[in-house]
Structure formats: structure tokens, C-alpha cells
């Protein structure tokens, strides 16, 4: 079953606000990925993290690989309407045979 | 054209029918996957294949089968569909030799409804 706990499950924000979401686990991961799924489409990779403590930005998005290797967060600054979608974290463990484990997703709604 | 193409995009069928979802890719990736998405449950792995002769069960393989016809093609079959298989299905590919890690590229999804 799922080993990643992603929160919050949903967020309703106003345009211009900052957003933060995170994934936690009781297990250690050696890669963290953040994906975004637009309505009617498949998930698309936003950011990949490969080292504990790593902080990576992609435009208005910033993600961090937790120092304990058991968590990761994604921040979106100055949200805009096209940020609407479902955001998934995914983690890769040494023992998983290269299979990713996905969080349950965060549904983001941005009101203009 | 999309790198990972899924057909059909939408399908409505009846309980007991056999259904095949097809996936083809132009990325040249060795690894292909089938996931299922249900609201609030994220993406769950059904089957995966690391090359043409390799097929592996994921976490929810019961009721499904797959065929890796070629490096570029990976199909998912429901031999006798049941209503709780109503979901959004995604095909994905990866190749750690190219991306440095198991980063997945997803298709646009196939929405299946079983009545």
C-alpha cells in the first residue's frame, strides 16, 4: 500500500498567494520527484531531487529533499490560475527495484 | 505527436467484457508501466516491464494482464471487467540511463468506465 503521506489533500487559494504542500514517510527515500497533473492530462515532472538537503527551484516552484530523507516539500509562490491541478510527490527507495511510490495527491484550486 | 500515446482515451463497457488498453512510445525507453488513478488514492502500479522479455506485477495486478509486444508497445488487458475497475489508467515510460534516475514520462490517460 501507500507509504507516502501527502498533505494537504486539497487547497483553495486566491491568485497571488503562496502555496506549500509536503510528503512524509516512515521510510527513507533516495530520490524525490514532484509531478503536476492538469485536468484531462497525465502527470508531468516539475522537479527532481536526488540528495538529502537539496533545494531546487523551477520558476515559481521550489522543492526540498528533507535532511532525514523521509520527507519533501513543494512551494509555489505568487500562484496564478494555471497552477490549478493535482500535485503528486513520488519517492524512490533503494529496495524498491526502481519502482516509484506516489503520494495521494494535492488538489489545488486557484481563484482569480 | 505525444511521446507516450494511449488508446482509447475514453471507454465505456459492461461487466464481464474483455478490454484492452494500448500504449505506444517514441522515446526509446526500455521501461514501461501501467498505473491506475483513483480519487484520493494517487497512482498505484499495476504492472511494469523493464524490457521486452520482462514482465513484473505491481501492487494491484489482480484482474489485469499485460503484453509487451515490442520495446515501444505495452498493452493492459482486463479479461473480465468489473465495476470497481472503473478508473483512469496511465501508461508511463522511463530510462535511468537517459535521465539519471527513474523519472517517469506519462501518457495522457485512458478513462475506463465499467457499468
Per-residue pLDDT at B99: 65
| Residue of B36, B60, B91, B103 for testing the chain A interface, max A β-carbons within 10 Å | B103
Residues with Cβ within 8 Å of A30's Cβ and at least 6 positions away in sequence, in order, are: A50, A69, A92, A93, A94
**Eight-class DSSP state of A81:** G
Report chain A's mean pLDDT, rounded to a whole number: 92
Contact across the interface for A104 and B101, Cβ inside 8 Å: no
Check: CB of residue A47 under 8 Å from CB of residue A63: yes
Does residue B89 register a pLDDT over 60? yes
Among B100, B76, B92, residue whose Cα is nearest residue B25: B92
A22-66 pLDDT, tens digit each: 999 999 999 999 999 998 899 999 999 999 999 999 999 999 999
Of the CA atoms within 13 Å of residue B9, those in its CB half-sphere come to: 7
User: Given A1, A4, A92, which is nearest B101 (Cβ)?
Assistant: A92
| Residue of B45, B102, B105, B109 for testing the chain A interface, max A β-carbons within 10 Å | B102
Identify the helix (H) or strand (E) that includes residue A61. Answer: strand A61-65
B9-65 pLDDT, tens digit each: 999 999 999 999 999 999 999 999 999 999 888 899 999 999 998 999 999 999 999
Q: How far is Cα B57 from Cα B9, in angstroms, rounded to an integer?
A: 24
Alpha helices in B3-104 (DSSP H): 96-99
CB atoms within 10 A of CB B109: 22
Residue B62, beta-bridge partner list: none
Which comes out higher in pLDDT, residue A94 or B25?
B25
Q: How far is Cα B113 from Cα A15, in angstroms, rounded to an integer?
A: 35
A:55-74 residues touching chain B, CB 8 A cutoff: none
**Eight-class DSSP state of A67:** T
Mean pLDDT within B77-81: 96
Determine the distance in angstroms separating the CA of A112 from the nearest CA of chain B, rounded to an integer: 25
Q: Which grid coordinates belong to A30? A: 533516495
Amino acid at each position: 500500500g501507500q507509504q507516502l503521506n501527502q498533505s494537504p489533500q486539497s487547497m483553495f487559494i486566491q491568485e497571488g498567494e503562496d502555496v506549500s504542500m509536503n510528503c512524509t514517510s516512515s521510510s527513507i527515500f533516495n530520490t524525490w520527484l514532484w509531478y503536476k497533473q492538469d485536468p484531462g492530462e497525465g502527470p508531468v515532472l516539475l522537479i527532481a531531487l536526488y540528495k538529502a538537503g537539496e533545494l531546487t527551484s523551477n520558476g515559481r516552484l521550489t522543492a526540498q529533499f528533507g535532511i532525514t530523507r523521509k520527507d519533501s516539500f513543494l512551494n509555489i509562490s505568487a500562484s496564478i490560475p494555471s497552477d490549478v491541478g493535482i500535485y503528486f510527490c513520488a519517492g524512490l527507495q533503494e529496495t524498491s527495484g526502481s519502482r516509484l511510490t506516489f503520494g495521494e495527491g494535492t488538489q489545488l484550486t486557484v481563484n482569480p | 505527436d505525444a511521446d507516450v500515446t494511449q488508446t482509447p482515451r475514453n471507454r465505456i463497457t459492461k461487466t464481464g467484457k474483455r478490454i484492452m488498453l494500448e500504449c505506444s512510445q517514441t522515446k526509446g525507453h526500455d521501461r514501461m508501466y501501467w498505473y491506475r488513478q483513483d480519487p484520493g488514492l494517487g497512482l498505484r502500479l499495476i504492472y511494469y516491464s523493464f524490457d521486452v522479455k520482462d514482465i513484473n506485477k505491481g501492487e494491484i495486478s489482480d484482474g489485469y494482464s499485460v503484453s509487451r509486444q515490442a520495446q515501444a508497445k505495452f498493452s493492459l488487458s482486463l479479461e473480465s471487467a468489473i465495476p470497481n475497475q472503473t478508473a483512469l489508467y496511465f501508461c508511463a515510460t522511463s530510462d535511468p540511463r537517459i535521465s539519471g534516475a527513474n523519472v517517469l514520462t506519462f501518457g495522457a490517460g485512458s478513462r475506463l468506465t465499467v457499468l
